[in-house]
Structures are given as structure tokens and as C-alpha cells.
Structure 1
Amino acid sequence: MPILTGTNLSLSFGEREILRGVSLSVEPGEKIGIVGRNGTGKSTLLKMLCGLMTPDSGSVSASQGVRVGYLHQNPNLEPDDTLKEATARAFEVVDQLHEQLDGLYHDMAEAKGEALEKLLKEQERIEKAIEAAGGYSNEHKVEMILHGLGFSDDQFDIKVRDLSGGQKARVALGRLLLENPGVLLLDEPTNHLDVAGREWLETFLSEEYPGAVILISHDRYLLDKVVSRIIEVEDGRLLDYPGNYAAFRKQRIERRVTMLRAWEKQQTMFKREEAYIRQYKAGQRAKQAKGRESKLERAKEDALERPVEFDNMKLNLPKAERTGDIVISTRELSKSYPNEDGTTKVLFHDLALHIERGQRWGIIGPNGAGKTTLVRCMLGELDADRGSIKLGSRLAVGYFSQNRDDLDPEKTVYRHIQDTVRKATDERIMMSEQDARNLAGAFLFSGRDQEKQLGVMSGGEQARAVLAGLLASAKNVLVLDEPTNHLDIQASERLEDTLARTHENPMTGEKTEGEFDGTILLISHDRALIDAVCDHILVLDGEGNAEVFPGTYSDWKLTQAERSSGPQVQSKQSKLTEPTISKPASKPMDSGEKSRFSWMPLK
């Protein structure tokens, strides 16, 4: 029997229809993933289900005694609480229920007959709610949740007012998990979680959380492990698919094939009508041709758009100059900074890296471990404390950072792409408007979206525009810092297809070579992206240690599991306290090899 139901829900913002008569029901313990392009109404749906937004029509109902919990994007936390105290406030709900129960016992002592029957039913309801909420406050539960979300014991006493926005979001998530509502609504819960935090959350939700979960996320691995049902929000409708995200992709492709055939049929009809109009426009059937022309124009106004995922979307990226064999080499590279308490935070020390042409490196580690700092040192934007960096010859580096301050808010996306390519190549490449529009289309900008100015675009749209311009700028080295942070799943998969060594056509299964053949340094918490793109993994553990692993992310995870499988191996290798550092080959460097590098002195 459903514990939460939304029936015929509709909502519009002005003339824009967000949801149109949609319905869904949630069973006890069910785990549901909500997917769809940014702006389709996913978050709106969750807010209606928890009562934060009122639909224009329709209704939402929950079973008696079932609490619905929602992860707020801007949590209301007490600034004077410590981190641990703020999380433990989850049990205030239980305390309030116990107060209600105590008052009920007092009333029951004097009640009789029908009044007593009502009080007994209320007692049963409250006791069920207390049981569902997890009973009494449990310090161990609080610490377990906080550790899972990436907090250490020495952070427990930090005041809320001194926490970063991301830390506050993690506290709010921890508190909500401890509240243990019957239905848990999570809107992008992994936004501020590193890889370890994401893995912990997916294990907790799939194996330990007893309630129902409705989850919006662009983390495909999370959706694959946690959910057993996918609801896609598209054009104001809800499309229901059984299974996890991988199963959804297969079913969705079948549906998209049907849509593509409908588009092709419509295009054939348009061409047939255009041929008729051309043939008879000036003849005896001119009147009939004119009528059909008017009808055709109206039909084109509401024409189907070709499913963008099935466009060939060949980017035809300009070929960059071939780099030397060695792209980046570091020796004894070290960087640290002082903490407020006078101690020193070591990010990395004596780091030796040897990055060769064509390799794809995924850089992972906890938040604050120094991943961005490392690549900025490599690019010369920051000075390391000690060590040397050698850059190979003929490098054309494209750097995708989180900074968008240099975007011209008045430019359209295709103009931005044109100008980016022109400036990056010193006007060697002058991209036509049509080529720029084609590239924008390949990055999921429809014809209408291509006319939008950057200043009114969402963070995800701006990120796609920047990535498109970067990839078209004849770069042979890409340094990408969290490129999928603001991207929806479809955009992340488009980027993945572009960067991966091989790409599989979703309709035919045919595999083709990827469209970028250079070197990649990728900082990301998106495990699916790293797994598909990278052939080397660099792990920074946040304690100054590093590990280099030659292989994919899945290979590395398998190795980690094997390391921890036995007590002897576990004591030595399950943690990164004794890192394995990959070092360049010990052969001497002759004069010919030296010519492949340009020195970057460290200040």
C-alpha cells in the first residue's frame, strides 16, 4: 500500500508549464531515482511532495504516521551549535514525540469509553512514529553518520558559524538521515561529498536505511546501486522505468529510437510537401499549393526536434600539434600551508609524477586534499614549496576551472565558442557561425537555447558553453577541474563520449574512436566519468600522502578491496599512510631527452 501519493499534480510559472497532471505513488522502503534535464521540474516535484510548494491543481497525501523528510539546499542551523550538536538535533523530533506521549498518558488516566479509545489510537500512532524515528538519541549513531560524511573527530567541536557552505550541507544531510523519516527526499545529496563520502552514502541508503527514498542525483553510480525505479521528468510528464539507471538507459534508448523514427517520418513529409509546393506554386494548382504552404508553415512551428542524443554529434575537433613523449614530470614536489591553530597542513610532499603523451589521469581524494592546488602548481599558477616541474614541448593546455568571471554575459553561446577558438589559436582557426552552432548543438544546446546570452544561463549551461569552446580550441592537453559539477546526466554523458578513447553508438552498438586524442588531467568526484575516461589514478589522501595507480578507477577499487581482504595485507596497505609513489624510470636522461622539456623554475 502506498505511503506517499501525488495525484494529478500541475504547476506553471507564468506561461511556462512545469508539470502537467502528473501522478506517482511510493511504496514502503522503495528507492526511486528522479532524472531529467536541468530545469524540467525535478526539484519542483520534490518540494510539492513535502509541502514546500503548492500545486496549481492536484493533491499530495501521506499515510497516517508517515513523516516526509526533505534535504534543504539552505539548511537552517543554529550558528552557536557545534558541528556535532547541530547533527544531534535530529533527535529533537523524538524528544517532541515523547513529550506528546507523556501528555497522552496523563489524559488517558482520566479518560473513559470512546474518549479513551481515541487516545489509545493516538498512543499507537505516536509510538510507531518514535520507532520509525530511531528511538532515543544515540551518540554512536551521530558519530557514525558524521564519519561517513567525511568529518573527523577533531572537527566535531567546530561552531556552525565557522563551517563552509559545503560542510553545512553535509551536516544537514547527516541530521536528516538520523531523523529517519518514512520517506526521504534528497535533492543532489552528493554535491558536497568527495568520492569516499559518495560511496558511504550509497551503501547506507541501499543497505541500512529502512525507509523510502526519492533521490535526485547526477551521480550515475549512486543511482545504479541505490534505486530500483527511475522516474524521468520530461516535457511536464513523468515517465516511469523499472530498474536502476543502467536499466533505464537501455529502455530509454528504445523509446528514443521510436522518437527518432517519428522525426524522420515528419521530415520526409515536410520534403514531400515542399516538393509539391515548388512544382505547383505557379501553375493551375497555385491556390491549392498556397494553402498547403500555409499548413506546412504551421506544422513547422510545432515540428518535432530530433532527439539530440541520437544526432551523430561528431565534433570534428581541430587537430592539435603533437606533444613530446613526456607531458609533465615532477620531482620531490611539495606543498603545504599553515592552519589557523599554528599547525601545518601538508597537501603533498616529495611527489614524483611522470605523465606521458596520451595518458588520462584521474585525480581523486577528499575535499581539501590539494587536488586543485596540485594542478595549479603544474600549470605555474601557484608556487610549490619545494621540488621541480618539467613541462614537455609543444604543449597547448586547455584549463577548465570553477571560475566563470571572464565570461561575457552578453554573448550567445555560439558567439562565445567562435571568440574562444579565435583567441586561443591566435586567429589561426576562424570558426564559422554554422560550425559554432553545430558544436553548440553537440553539447545539447537546442536552436532556441543557442540564442540565449551567457549572463542568463544556469551554471550547467555556462559550463557546457565553456567546455565546447575549450574542446574546439586545438588543445593537446586538457586540465579539467570538476567539469560535471553543474551538468545534468545527459550533458555528463556527452562530455564522457567526447573524452573517452572509444564511443559506443547507443542505437547501433558500433564503437568508434573518441574525439580527443591528447592528454587529460581530470579532477572529479564523478566516478562514472573517471572510470570511462582515465587510465591512471592519482589519489591524494588529505594527509600529505599520494598513491599512483596505473589502471582505471574500477581496477583501483578492486585492488583496494584485495588489499583489505587479509589481516597481514590490511595492516600495511589498506590505508594510504604508506603511499606507493610512482616514479620515473631510473635511466639517465640524455641530451636528446632534455630537449623535450622546458624548465619551469619554482620560486
Structure 2
Amino acid sequence: MTIVSAQGIRRTYGIHEVLRGANLSLEAGERVGLVGRNGSGKSTLARILAGAEDPDAGEVVRRTGLRVGYLAQEPEFSPGLRAVDAVLAGLSDWTAAMDRYEAVTSELAEGRGEEAALLDEQTRLIARIETLGGWEKRHEALALLGHVGVHDVEAKVDSMSGGERRRVALARLLVAAPDLAILDEPTNHLDLDTVEWLERWLRERYPGALVLVTHDRYLLDRVATRTLEVEGGEVYSYEGGWGRYLAAKAEREAHADRVDANRRNFLRRELEWLRRRPKARTTKQRARVDRAESVRDEADQARAARRDREATIELGHTREGRIILETDDLAVDVGDRRLVSGLTLRLRKGERLGVVGPNGCGKTSLLRAMTGDLIPAGAGASADEPAEPKPEDGPRIVEGELRQGKRTRVAFLDQARSGLDDGETIFENVGQGSTVVRLGNQELDLRSYLERFLFASHEQRRIVGTLSGGERARVALAKILREDANLVILDEPTNDLDVTTLTALEGALLEYPGAVLVVTHDRWFLDRVATGLLVFEGEGAVVRHEGGWADYAERRKAAEAGPAKASASKASSAKPEVEAEAVSAAPSKAAEPKRKLTYGEQIELEGLLERVDEAEQRVAALEAELAAADFYDRSVRDQQAFFADLQAAKAAAEALAERWVELEALAD
């Protein structure tokens, strides 16, 4: 059943036409991902579907009685609300029904009014409350606030940070459980555990239809049943989540390449005819000239559109010394709270560490320490001139030692993008008085450099204060990455970036010869980029784990399952006394001997770990090939063969790993 239909949607801001004739429909219960470049019109289309904004032309038809919930990037609340009140505001229908039910019940108890009419209304109210989610919605609202990381339910929403306000708005929408939920970047400002909880909730518990505007590729792959791409003001539909979308998009672009090739062949023939300068005296000849010129213009436009499609990011690098960054028993406090305790770390060339943990655990403070922004307590003091005391409520290094190498140069992207001047243009912010950018031995004109970050020449004079969140993020990246460095530190670089820019950034980091520290909640980004993780595990403990997020999550899952399995095994082995006596009275049988490794299996086990390592290296090499910027320039047949090879390599690596576990268990 179609619940929303949009036809011929057009929307223009100034002279920029964002949507031009977009068409789409949504079915009851389906889960749709909405993707596209920053500025392509995703959020505009989401607002129009939600009824929060009107199109300039076109029509949106919604099913009668459809309840639509919309999570905006900048949610709005009535002033003075507590967090719990803001969430309960999402239950206006349920609250009204509950209030009326309590009033009717009170009237019946006191013998006021006509009993038959009150009983009839009470029955209808009970049915209404059940339809709206039952009797425990208030408890569910409080539980949802805890799940999204808002623990002080009495706090005023007005005093909260932008991230906290978004989490309150998310809880408000989820508890309302509308027929259609439209979520614009729902994972921004959520930590990884909360993102995984949200993913499970949407997949397993949310009953309505869903539109997800997000750059979180894991979320798209695991939740979406269909993907809509906004490109060139139009909407293209693909079945499945992120992986199937990529394959189908590659096929569509390959078809476009074939059409473009045919157009070029036609142009070549027609232009050869035009060069002979025939006298266009007849209508037929004049039509032929017009046709050739029209196709030539279309070809030029198509090539220009395809040129603008992808970002190109390259990181400036300067040679590093033997030491890039080291810490010994580092401790960082904020107020009376220990954020980091006893961290010893050696960061080497080529290492890319993801920093993960719950919101508020101290990830940003740790990055600030790594940049040298946090001065150890008492540093710089002398008998004649004592050090100026640091604010007690700010983060500070209280124990241990942090060392940067003499040749270490840091490029730091902070979460607030605070290095930007909102009153200056993109060109002025990035150029800082210069029109030349030097990346290693390469010298670029500033305009060409900015075009790599998807800012066309005519856009580079835009004032930064007027940009969207994704555009600001691209400007901040362009500014900090123009300087040669050997240690790149990024705090939430994936917030607001579109997938095109994310992919380019991932490729640049994979090729970067220096060291990288990055705080992000993007699991796909971590799996593609990180060689290891620094995980905040509570009580100030920051533990290093090798591999990406999937590796860590699998190890954590196994560790959590271990005690449960042991407990279950112990419980199942505890037999009632009567049963034990009956067993002892029966004729004794010798316990069956455990099977041991055969000679052939011993030989197999000795070389198996190397084979596992080789198989995993094969998978990593293929994934690096997939991450290359020119991968989708290949033919469709080559891409299909590649994906088949990648799937086979993953299956082989998994089979070898399982065989190694099996033989190791027998050996033990």
C-alpha cells in the first residue's frame, strides 16, 4: 500500500535549483535509505516529504490519517521543557487518551454523570490506548532516553548541547512510533554502542515505514530495503541497501558510459560532415546541423556532470623522525573525574588508530592532549614566575609523560570546526592570504585545490557562515589538510560528510605514510581505515585493540558469551541427587576418550595460521583495491568478477579461521 507519493517536485533556493521534477513513492512498512552528495537536495526532499517545507512545484499526496515523524538536523523544542517532558510531548495523542481515561474512571468512581455513557466511553478509550502502544508508554519514554544516552531526564533541553538535543528529539520520535519516520542524519553525535542499539531497534522493533538520510553505510546496509539516490535534482531508485546500491549504480553508470560513447561516435561522423561546409539550403540539411549541435551540447553537459561527481583528497606529508608520538602512564582528569588512566602508547609511521567509547568518556580530551593543547599540571613553572593555574573544571594532564618527536607536525580537525571564520569566503578561509597550495613537492593553484573538495570556482566566494554542515566540514578538511604534517588527528570527521567525500577521505588516509588518530562513530570508516583501536573501557582505562570495528566487536561478543556459556554448562552439569544416585546404581561405563589430533591434522595445524594470515591479507588487498578512487572506472563485467573474487576470498579466509579454531580445540 502506497502511503506517500511525490510527483514532479521542484525546489529552488535563489538561482540554485536543488530539485527538478523529482518523483518517488513510499510503501507501508518499507525501509528506505536516502543518499547523495552534500547539497544534492536530500534534506530538502526529506523536509518536503515530512510536510515541514513546501515545494515550488509538484505534489505530495499522503494517505489519509498518516502519522509522520521527522527528525531534523536542528530539532526545535518549546522553551523551558525538561528532557522527559520533551519526549512525552511526542505522545500527545496517547497522553490525551490517558488523561481522559483517568477522568472518566474518576467520574465513575464518584458516581458522577450517566454511568452507561461513561462505561461506553471508557471502553473506547481502553481500545484507543492499546492502539497507541499500551499502558507503559511513559516508562518506555524514560527507557528510550537512557538508551540514546540522556541520563539526566530532569535537565532543561534549552541548556543542552546540540548533540544532546538531537538525542532527545530522537527519543521523542521513537516513542511516538509514527506510521512514517523520516530521520535526517540520526547517527550524528551518537557513540558506537548507541548506533548499534538504534540499528537493532529500527530493524527489530520499529513497525512503521522509514526514510533514513544518513552517511552511515553499515546502517544503510543492515536496515534499508531500498535506496533512493538524489542526483542532478532527480531521484533514482535501487533495490536493497548500500552494497546492492553500489553494484546497481555501477551498472547504471556503465550504461551511461555506453550511451556517451555512442553519442561521441555520432558526433564524430556529424562533425566530419559539418567540416565539409555543406550549404544548408534545404530544411533537411539545416535539421542535420541543428541535430549535431544539440548532441554536442548534451555531450558537453554530460561530461561536465560526471567530472563534478567525485571528490579528490590528498594529504600533505612531511618526513617524520623516529618518534612521532609516545605516552607513558598518561593520566588526564577533568574536575575530580579521571578520564584517562595509565595510558602507554607508541604511535608509529603508517599506524591509523580509531578512538572509540561512550559519549562524554574523554575522547576529545585525549585528542587535545595528543596535539599538545593540554599542558601538564605545573609545566613551565619557575621560582620567579609560577605557571598560571588552569581552570579546575577543564581537562588537564595530571600524571605521566607525553612526547612528540622533534620533527612531528600535527594537522588537527576539531569537532566544532572552530578554525573557520564565518564572515570570510571559502577561498579566504582556506587560502589564508595565499593563492598557492603546496602538497609535498606538488604546487597547486588554490582554486584547483578547492575544486578537489567539490567547490566549483563560482562557489568559492560563498561566505562560510551560509554553508551547510557538510560543506563546512569540507572547508575545514581543505584548510587543515593543505599543511604538510606527519600526524593527522581528526575529531568526528565523518559528521555531515556525504559518502563521496567520505570515500575520498578514506582513500587518502589509506595512502598516507604518516600516523593518524581519529575519533568517529562510523563503523564502515573504522573497518576500512583503522589498523587498531583505542577503546575507552571505563574507569579511565584506554585499551589498544588491533584491527577495525568488526574485529573488536567480534572479540567483545565472544568474551561476553564466554561467561554465559560457562554458567550454562555448570548449571546443566548439576544433577538432582536422586538422578545422581540412579546413575551411580547403573552399571559403570568407561568414559569415552576425547578424540585427539591425527598425524595429518598435526601437520595441517602447523601451517594453518600462516594460511589464515595469507587469506586475510588477500581479503585486505582486495578491499584496498575496492577503496581506490578509480575502481568504478572499470567495466561492469570486471566489477562483477571482482565482487565474486572478494566474496570467495572472504569465504576462504573464514573457512580457514574456523578450521584453525577446530584443530586448536582438539590440540588443547
Superposed pair shares fold, TM > 0.5: yes
What's the counterpart of residue 588 of structure 1? Answer: none
Residues in 2 aligned to 1:145 and 1:8: alpha-carbon distance in whole angstroms: 38
What's the counterpart of residue 358 of structure 1? Answer: 350
What's the counterpart of residue 54 of structure 1? Answer: 54
What's the counterpart of residue 133 of structure 2? Answer: 134
Residues in 1 aligned to 2:463 and 2:268: alpha-carbon distance in whole angstroms: 33
Residues in 2 aligned to 1:469 and 1:252: alpha-carbon distance in whole angstroms: 32
What's the counterpart of residue 579 of structure 1? Answer: none
Residues in 1 aligned to 2:88 and 2:547: alpha-carbon distance in whole angstroms: 41
What is the number of residues matched between the two proteins? 530
Unaligned runs of 5+ in 2: 281-285, 376-396, 568-668
* Residues 72, 453 of structure 1: alpha-carbon distance in 2 compared, 3 angstrom cutoff: closer
In terms of fraction of residues, the more helix-rich structure is 2
What's the counterpart of residue 522 of structure 1? Answer: 518
Instruction: Indicate conservation of the 8 Å contact 2:364/2:491, yes or no.
Output: yes
Residues in 1 aligned to 2:156 and 2:42: alpha-carbon distance in whole angstroms: 33
TM-superposed deviation, 1:539? 1.2
What's the counterpart of residue 149 of structure 1? Answer: 148
Q: Percent of pairs identical after alignment?
A: 34
TM-score, normalised to structure 1, is 0.76
- Rg (Cα) greater in structure: 2
Given candidates 366, 385, 392, the residue that maps to 1:374 is 366
What's the counterpart of residue 338 of structure 2? Answer: 346
Deviations 1:148-173 (A, max 9, x none): 10133xx2232333322221221121
Secondary structure of the corresponding residue to residue 556 of structure 2: helix
Q: Which amino acid aligns with 1:307?
A: R
Residues in 1 aligned to 2:54 and 2:184: alpha-carbon distance in whole angstroms: 18
Is 2:29 the partner of 1:40?
no
Given candidates 462, 467, 486, the residue that maps to 1:476 is 486
Instruction: Indicate conservation of the 8 Å contact 1:333/1:388, yes or no.
Output: yes
Residues in 1 aligned to 2:517 and 2:479: alpha-carbon distance in whole angstroms: 18
Is 2:395 the partner of 1:399?
no
Residues in 2 aligned to 1:559 and 1:327: alpha-carbon distance in whole angstroms: 29
What's the counterpart of residue 624 of structure 2? Answer: none
TM-superposed deviation, 1:234? 1.8
Secondary structure of the corresponding residue to residue 29 of structure 2: coil
Unaligned runs of 5+ in 1: 111-118, 339-343, 501-513, 572-603
What's the counterpart of residue 390 of structure 1? Answer: 403
What's the counterpart of residue 599 of structure 1? Answer: none
Q: Which amino acid aligns with 2:487?
A: V
Given candidates 225, 231, 235, the residue that maps to 2:232 is 235
TM-superposed deviation, 1:190? 1.5
Residues in 2 aligned to 1:499 and 1:330: alpha-carbon distance in whole angstroms: 23
Instruction: Indicate conservation of the 8 Å contact 1:417/1:468, yes or no.
Output: no
Q: Which amino acid aligns with 1:150?
A: G
Secondary structure of the corresponding residue to residue 385 of structure 1: strand
TM-superposed deviation, 1:140? 3.4
What's the counterpart of residue 18 of structure 1? Answer: 18
Q: Which amino acid aligns with 2:145?
A: L
Deviations 1:245-266 (A, max 9, x none): 1111111122122334445566
Given candidates 190, 209, 219, the residue that maps to 1:193 is 190
Residues in 1 aligned to 2:295 and 2:231: alpha-carbon distance in whole angstroms: 27
Deviations 1:548-601 (A, max 9, x none): 111111110111111111226999xxxxxxxxxxxxxxxxxxxxxxxxxxxxxx
Residues in 2 aligned to 1:186 and 1:96: alpha-carbon distance in whole angstroms: 26
TM-superposed deviation, 1:439? 4.1
Q: How does 1:198-277 map to 2 (within 5 A)?
A: 198-263=195-260
Residues in 2 aligned to 1:423 and 1:385: alpha-carbon distance in whole angstroms: 39
Q: Which amino acid aligns with 1:388?
A: E
Secondary structure of the corresponding residue to residue 331 of structure 1: strand
Residues in 1 aligned to 2:483 and 2:268: alpha-carbon distance in whole angstroms: 36
Q: How does 1:106-145 map to 2 (within 5 A)?
A: 130-145=129-144
TM-superposed deviation, 1:440? 3.5
Q: How does 1:74-89 map to 2 (within 5 A)?
A: 74-89=74-89
What's the counterpart of residue 495 of structure 2? Answer: 485
What's the counterpart of residue 66 of structure 1? Answer: 66
Instruction: Indicate conservation of the 8 Å contact 1:527/1:553, yes or no.
Output: yes
Residues in 1 aligned to 2:14 and 2:226: alpha-carbon distance in whole angstroms: 32
Given candidates 426, 447, 453, the residue that maps to 1:443 is 453
TM-superposed deviation, 1:519? 0.9
* Residues 463, 284 of structure 1: alpha-carbon distance in 2 compared, 3 angstrom cutoff: same
Is 2:338 the partner of 1:328?
no
Query: How large is the Cα RMSD of the aligned pairs?
Result: 4.0
What's the counterpart of residue 544 of structure 1? Answer: 540
Secondary structure of the corresponding residue to residue 498 of structure 1: helix
Residues in 1 aligned to 2:131 and 2:350: alpha-carbon distance in whole angstroms: 53
Secondary structure of the corresponding residue to residue 156 of structure 1: coil
What's the counterpart of residue 506 of structure 1? Answer: none
Secondary structure of the corresponding residue to residue 94 of structure 1: helix
Q: Which amino acid aligns with 2:486?
A: N
TM-superposed deviation, 1:207? 0.8
What's the counterpart of residue 640 of structure 2? Answer: none
Q: How does 1:455-470 map to 2 (within 5 A)?
A: 456-470=466-480
Secondary structure of the corresponding residue to residue 24 of structure 1: strand
TM-score, normalised to structure 2, is 0.69
Instruction: Indicate conservation of the 8 Å contact 2:438/2:482, yes or no.
Output: no
What's the counterpart of residue 503 of structure 1? Answer: none
TM-superposed deviation, 1:178? 0.6
* Residues 293, 417 of structure 1: alpha-carbon distance in 2 compared, 3 angstrom cutoff: farther
* Residues 160, 470 of structure 1: alpha-carbon distance in 2 compared, 3 angstrom cutoff: closer
Secondary structure of the corresponding residue to residue 350 of structure 1: strand
Residues in 1 aligned to 2:270 and 2:461: alpha-carbon distance in whole angstroms: 29
Instruction: Indicate conservation of the 8 Å contact 1:5/1:24, yes or no.
Output: yes
* Residues 465, 65 of structure 1: alpha-carbon distance in 2 compared, 3 angstrom cutoff: closer
Instruction: Indicate conservation of the 8 Å contact 1:414/1:440, yes or no.
Output: no
Instruction: Indicate conservation of the 8 Å contact 1:413/1:465, yes or no.
Output: no
